[in-house]
Amino acid sequence: MRLCAILFVVMIMVSTVPVALLAVWEQQQSLDREVASVSEKHLLVARNLTTALDRYIRDAQSVFLATGNHLSGDGKQFDFHEVLSTMGFRHVCVVDAEGYIQRLQCAADCVKTVQFPAAVFHSLASVRAQAQASPGMLIMSDLLRNQAGQPSLYMVRANAGGLMTIGELDTEYPQKIQKSISFGRGGHAAIVDSTGRIIAHPLDDWVAEMKDISGLSVVRKMIQGETGVIQFFSPAAKAQMVAGYNVVPRTGWGVMIPQPYQELVDKSNGLRLVGVAIAAVGIVIAIAISWWLSGMLARPLSNIADIAMRVADGDMTLRVPDSRRLHLRETRDLTHAFNHMLERIDSANTALEVASRQALAANRSKSEFLANMSHELRTPLNAVIGFSDMIRHQRLGAIDNAVYVQYATDIQLSSQHLLELINDILDLSVVEQGKLILHKELLAIEPVIQECIKLAIESKFQNGAAFLTDIPENLPPLFVDRRAFKQVVLNLLSNSAKFTPRDGQVTLSVALLNGCHVISIRDTGIGIPKNKLATITNPFVRSETNSYKTQQGTGLGLAIVKSLVELHGGTLVLESDQDRGTVVTVTLPMGRVGSQSSLPI
């Protein structure tokens, strides 16, 4: 992504996001204020409505008790028709335990039979039981259907002598007071009984059905006797509602005053339009300023990046031109610093090229010197070895003094060691010059390894050190240079034997993995320090521990092994813990490339 685009986007966001957030925040605050105001009003209306209903129930109970007392007495009968009709009673009657009517006071509707309707009487069983348990106390039922199927409420009181007064009350007054509450596009009132059945509601079908809405959260709270304000989803309005709710103390009825939440949102949307307009103006201004400013800041950086890419392609003569249109001190300083850096890099590269050529020439001279020196030293050294061997074995005549024989033995051993070092130096010199020619052939791996093991055991292993092998049968042949491969295995075995104590163990294993031969040599010797693992395969590098210093060597063995393995296209991996042992893993490919290869390092 371009810097100009990033600056442009960031500046727009910095300038517009706060304005947008402010507009959203103000709208939310306005909505919260509207919800708080409406909630308080709705709760107040719900409480007023429950007060009115409570007063109505209290008056209805008084009329019921008066009528019941009159019917239960033996005095003159009065007509309570008008007052019962006013309170919404259909009738009040006194019945015996089987439901036979003993006395009856009609109002809007009369029972036509001598026995109270059996279905209704059965529906009132729990209410009658409560009344019988508390003689003289008025018990009011929840919403039930009368004989005609109309929603009705019943008041029941147990009298003396096993009689019972039952009054049937219609729901006209609750419905009338519910219909008087209407506001906004969907604000209304709803009244339910203590079980959640609708007594009064704007939907007449729900009223006639006595619909059970106890599943609504607000109705559950009213059933539990709670009061307050809540938001809930209304199945009737199919919308989210905010409602104040309260409970009628005498009956447990719930009264709620819900209003669609969207109406409150719509009222607060006016401020959103203002916020959108302000944000739009801010965005237009921000776009213009951001476009100009981002271009001014990014243009010099773009020029520097273009010059840097061309310099990376090799043209060190390029420089960033001074801008005549910009006067920013920082960009001018950056341009000068970049040009100065290019000049320094150009000078440094020139010096490095000269130093590199000199280093290559010195390295070639060193390699040639080592090769020549090795060749020159081997001839007289072979003579020393040969003559010392003749003296040691007294081939030209007996030597009386045994000390001279011992001296000759020491000379021969030292000369052999020196010859090995010279051979190592010569091998490394040949490899470094890229002159080593590998004569590759298909080679059975087990016989060669067994030969190397025999040589290492005879010459290097200390008495008491154990040697184990794990070489599977029928291994496919290796395509390697025989001499180089033997040198790799023998050097590694010699190293393990040299640094493994008498009670230690060396294990050589061979395996096939991903089309390669994997040769692993594990020992329980003194190990390699962690700080030397990365450089131990470099020429002339040895460990600095006392245990290593007591062993002879120049530090060329692993360097030669690594070079020979890599000439074969393989890898060498070293793992070691000091005083716990070392694992050397050589991986060589099996594939046949050709009969000869000459590969420079």
Task: Answer for the pair 102, 164: CB distance below 8 angstroms, yes or no.
Answer: no
Contact 259, 183 (CB under 8 A): yes
Over range 335-363, report the average pLDDT: 81
Average model confidence (pLDDT) for the chain?
Answer: 81
429-466 burial: b if 16+ Cβ within 10 Å, else e: bbbbbeebebebeeeebeebbeebbeebeeebbeeebe
Closest CA to 322 of 309, 311, 337: 337
Bridge-based pairing of strands 466-470 and 505-513 is parallel
* pLDDT tens digits along 174-201: 999 999 988 888 889 999 999 999 999 9
Of 376, 470, 373, residue with least CA distance to 425? 373
Dihedral angle at the C-alpha atoms of 380, 385, 386, 389, nearest 10 degrees?
A: 160
pLDDT at 427: 67
What confidence category does residue 95 fall into, taking pLDDT thresholds of 50, 70 and 90?
very high
The pLDDT confidence band at residue 157, using thresholds 50, 70 and 90, is very high
Least confident of 157-166, 275-284, 306-315, 329-338: 275-284
- What's the mean pLDDT in 428-432? 66
- Phi and psi torsions of 500, nearest 5°: -105, 125
Instruction: Quickly state the pLDDT bin for 593 (edges 50, 70, 90).
Output: very low
**Residues 6 or more apart from 441 whose CB is under 8 A from it?**
479, 480, 481, 482, 595
Confidence label for 463 from pLDDT (cuts 50, 70 and 90)? low
**pLDDT, tens digit, 9 for 90 and up, residues 387-420:** 777 777 777 777 777 777 777 777 866 776 676 6
Q: Which residue has the higher pLDDT, 7 or 499?
A: 499
Task: Give tens-digit pLDDT for 507-536.
Answer: 999 999 888 999 999 998 888 888 887 788
Residue 315 scores a pLDDT above 60: yes
Other CB atoms within 10 Å distance of the CB of residue 148: 9
User: Which pLDDT band holds residue 375 (cuts at 50, 70, 90)?
Assistant: low
A 10 A CB-CB count for 91 gives: 21
The rounded Cα 238 to chain-centroid distance in angstroms is: 38
Q: Which two structure tokens, joined as six digits, stand for 562? A: 């690594």
Distance CA 40, CA 282 (A): 38
pLDDT score recorded for residue 76 = 59
Q: Do 151 and 143 touch, CB atoms closer than 8 A?
A: yes
- Average pLDDT of the residues in 425-432: 66
Phi, psi of 109 (to 5 degrees): -150, 140
Summarize the confidence of residues 330-341 as an average pLDDT: 79
What confidence category does residue 597 fall into, taking pLDDT thresholds of 50, 70 and 90?
A: very low
Q: Using CA atoms, how far apart are residues 423 and 431, in angstroms rounded to an integer?
A: 12
Helices within 394-508 (DSSP H only):
402-432, 445-459, 482-498
Angle between helices 445-459 and 482-498 (to 10 degrees): 40
Q: Where are the alpha helices (DSSP H) in 313-401?
A: 329-393
Q: What is the pLDDT of residues 29-88, one digit of tens each?
A: 776 777 777 788 888 999 999 999 999 999 999 999 999 888 887 655 677 888 899 899
Higher pLDDT, 439 or 91: 91
Q: pLDDT tier at 450 (50, 70, 90 boundaries)?
A: confident
Q: Does the structure show a pLDDT above 90 at 457? A: no
Which residue, among 8, 4, 23, has the nearest Cα to 281 in the 3D structure?
23
* Domains, the chain, ordered by start: 89-169 (3.30.450.20), 436-598 (3.30.565.10)
| Continuous H helices in 73-103 | 81-87
pLDDT digits (tens, 9 = 90+) for 265-308: 777 676 666 666 776 776 777 777 777 776 776 677 777 778 88
Between CA 578 and CA 580 the distance in angstroms is 5
Highest mean pLDDT among 18-32, 101-115, 261-275, 381-395: 101-115
Task: For the chain, report the end-to-end CA distance as a whole number of angstroms.
Answer: 42
pLDDT bin (cut points 50, 70, 90) of residue 331 is: confident
Task: Identify the CA nearest to 224 among candidates 257, 256, 247.
Answer: 247
Q: pLDDT band for 583, please (50, 70, 90 cuts).
A: very high
